[in-house]
Amino acid sequence: MDETKFTPISNIGEFELINKITSSTKINNKSTIMGVGDDAAILEFDKKVHRLLSTDMLVEGVHFDCAYSPLKHVGYKAVVSNVSDICAMNGRATHILISVAIPNKYSVELITSLYEGIHLACKNYKIDLIGGDTTASPSVLTIGVTVLGVADKKSIVCRSGANPTDLLITTGDLGAAYLGLQILEREKMIFEKSNQAQPLLGEYTYILERQLKPEPRVDIIEWLKEKNIIPTSMIDVSDGLSSEALHLARSSSVGIKIFEDRIPVSHHTNDTAKELGINPSMCALHGGEDYELLFTLPIKYHKQLAGVSDLHVIGHVTAQKNIVELVKESGEVINLTKDGWDSFIKHNQKHI
């Protein structure tokens, strides 16, 4: 009998799977400056400008639920989540390709609504939709997105440049998208038990918008350019603060220390977290889908950051390799692991 043992992907998770299937990848073209390992690949066809390329997929039942996610919002989110990857390289998204696998249950009108969201995002962020593909799907709606962008060669930012004593900075606030998902899941469950029940969503507008219609931080990239500030490393917060900080630490071979009382959490997030009996900091650390930017800067920029309301210094880089620590308000220090969103671990994002 065949003695081959098969390992479930859920045993190792998404990031270990990526490492396993890409570790033997070899670069064959001089134009490839960076392949796998960052928010986007870097290609060089011009001495002054680098081309950026990234791709992503949204799968029904994994990344969105049509019970509460309007397809127009799904289309919008498909574009902006990829724009965020280009922002994380300190670049500007310029073109996008969309491929869609469509089950028979979807009508022309529904797919048109999906593309209304796609076109709106392209309009808002001045991106050209230049192609893609459509095909049938036997089960669920799947959206594949490839985004192209540009960045000046001297200003491009990767995950690998952080240095000890650098400041750790996040934009906006964290944890709201996760809680938006919790409210949507709760109301769906109530409706399934009694389809006469009406969803109570009015008081959750902010966190619902953060989940259903996020916006990439193009404004911060423009601000950095205006101030002539180039981060030493950067990543977008799509899988949770803890996971992204670990990516920066490992890519840069440094450590990172995060102070819990400095993590920006909106009052909407704080109130809803308390209502649901969840620690707001855990939502920020492990929730995901905020699409904020996490980056490092030399300490000399501290004064320039002081007057910017949407930039928050939440910690600093240390000389400890590959270690991310959370300093709790009590003073206790906890080593953070990769407890962020992982599509191969069932219901990962619904239980913190």
pTM of this prediction? 0.88
Domain range summary for the chain, segments of one domain joined by +: 31-152, 167-350
Classify strands 292-297 and 167-171 as parallel, antiparallel or unpaired.
antiparallel
Start-to-end CA distance of the chain, whole Å, equals 42
Q: From CA 39, how far away is CA 87, in angstroms rounded?
A: 9
CB 57 within 8 A of CB 132: no
Q: What is the pLDDT of residues 24-82, one digit of tens each?
A: 667 667 767 666 766 788 888 877 888 999 999 999 998 999 999 999 999 999 999 99
Exposure b/e, 167-190, CB count within 10 A at least 16 = b: bbbbbbbbbbbbbbbbbbbebeee
- The CATH code that applies to domain 167-350 is 3.90.650.10
- The CATH code that applies to domain 31-152 is 3.30.1330.10
The answer to whether 31-152 and 167-350 have equal CATH topology is: no
Sign of the alpha-carbon torsion through 189, 190, 191, 192:
positive
Q: What is the pLDDT of residues 238-263, one digit of tens each?
A: 999 999 999 999 999 999 999 999 99
